[in-house]
Amino acid sequence: MKLLHVATARTIWLFTLLDMNPRGQAITQEAIEKISERYKFKAPPTMAAALEAQKKNEPVYFAAGEFMSTSGVNVIVDLKVYNDGLLADCRSNTKDSERFLADLFSWLPTGLGLPKTEVPIRKKIYVSELQMESKHQLEMINPKLATLNKSLAAMVPKGSATSYEVSSFALATDPKDGTPLINFIFERLINIPFAEHRYHSSAPVHTEDHLELLESLERILTE
């Protein structure tokens, strides 16, 4: 199995944003400019856009910033500021988007002149989305599925698809166990010929852990 590219490496920290500004200090255009300058955001919000987003209970969006990755190169980062936390996206790995949030979180009080106060993070969420190449067929999870594929092909009207195969595999959590995270999914890309062997995969874990899970899936398919 081969990594083609990282589509999303997202980190979300959930906490009460107002706890970072306990006395309601005015946040001005200058504050937005300071954040934009530190992380070189090419498309920061205006103060008017930030106020409008707050009024609609929507995130304030900082786009196309830069941050030094764990490999020592600058990567593009996007930031969304919500009332209940922060979301950072990049396309290297989730460790980089998390390091970016950690840097922002520790810098904000000093950088914006806010009171230094302990703000607990209630929850951390990771979203890893990868595009992969794999020549292993998913029906090898259970070869008996080939019989079902043939039965389906025989039932569809003539002139329609002539063959079917297992195209996706997913692991999900039971909603009764709490707020569900994204599922672990491995599936063929839509509208891409099977011969190209391209797959999309998502998982609620760090990027490197996601790759490890896919290696485990590959071993299952080849046993």
> Residue 117 — very low, low, confident or very high, per pLDDT cuts 50/70/90?
confident
Say whether both 189 and 93 belong to one domain: no
Number of domains in the chain: 2
Domain hosting 82: range is: 10-124
Say whether both 141 and 200 belong to one domain: yes
> Residue 159 — very low, low, confident or very high, per pLDDT cuts 50/70/90?
confident
The yes-or-no verdict on residue 180 having pLDDT over 70 is: no
Nearest to 86 by CA among 31, 12, 21, 22: 12
Nearest to 199 by CA among 149, 141, 135: 135
Lookup: tokens for 97: 């988007």
Task: Please report whether residue 107 resides in a domain.
Answer: yes
Say whether both 105 and 198 belong to one domain: no
The yes-or-no verdict on residue 178 having pLDDT over 80 is: no
The chain-wide mean pLDDT, for the chain, equals 93
Say whether both 106 and 133 belong to one domain: no
The yes-or-no verdict on residue 181 having pLDDT over 80 is: no
**Which residue did the predictor score with more confidence, 25 or 218?**
218
Say whether both 63 and 168 belong to one domain: no
Query: Can you give the pLDDT at residue 121?
Result: 96
Say whether both 15 and 94 belong to one domain: yes
Identify the domain boundary among 100, 124, 148.
124
Say whether both 38 and 98 belong to one domain: yes
Task: Please report whether residue 4 resides in a domain.
Answer: no
Task: Please report whether residue 110 resides in a domain.
Answer: yes
Query: Can you give the pLDDT at residue 14?
Result: 96
Say whether both 147 and 98 belong to one domain: no
Alpha-carbon span 10 to 94, nearest angstrom = 6
Angle made by CA atoms 95, 98, 104, in degrees to the nearest 5: 140
Task: Please report whether residue 150 resides in a domain.
Answer: yes
What percentage of residues in the chain have a pLDDT greater than 70? Answer: 99
Angle made by CA atoms 55, 58, 61, in degrees to the nearest 5: 115
Alpha-carbon span 134 to 156, nearest angstrom = 28
Q: For the segment 133-147, what is each residue's pLDDT rounded down to a tens digit?
A: 999 999 999 989 999
Say whether both 70 and 140 belong to one domain: no
> Residue 107 — very low, low, confident or very high, per pLDDT cuts 50/70/90?
very high
Query: Can you give the pLDDT at residue 176?
Result: 84
Section 153-182 average pLDDT: 84
Say whether both 119 and 147 belong to one domain: no
Query: Can you give the pLDDT at residue 116?
Result: 84
Say whether both 204 and 110 belong to one domain: no
The sign of the CA dihedral 70, 71, 73, 77 is negative
DSSP at 139: G
Task: Please report whether residue 5 resides in a domain.
Answer: no
Say whether both 31 and 68 belong to one domain: yes
Task: Please report whether residue 133 resides in a domain.
Answer: yes
Strands 85-90 and 74-82: antiparallel
H/E stretch holding 80 reads strand 74-82
Which residues sit opposite 93 in a β-bridge?
Answer: none
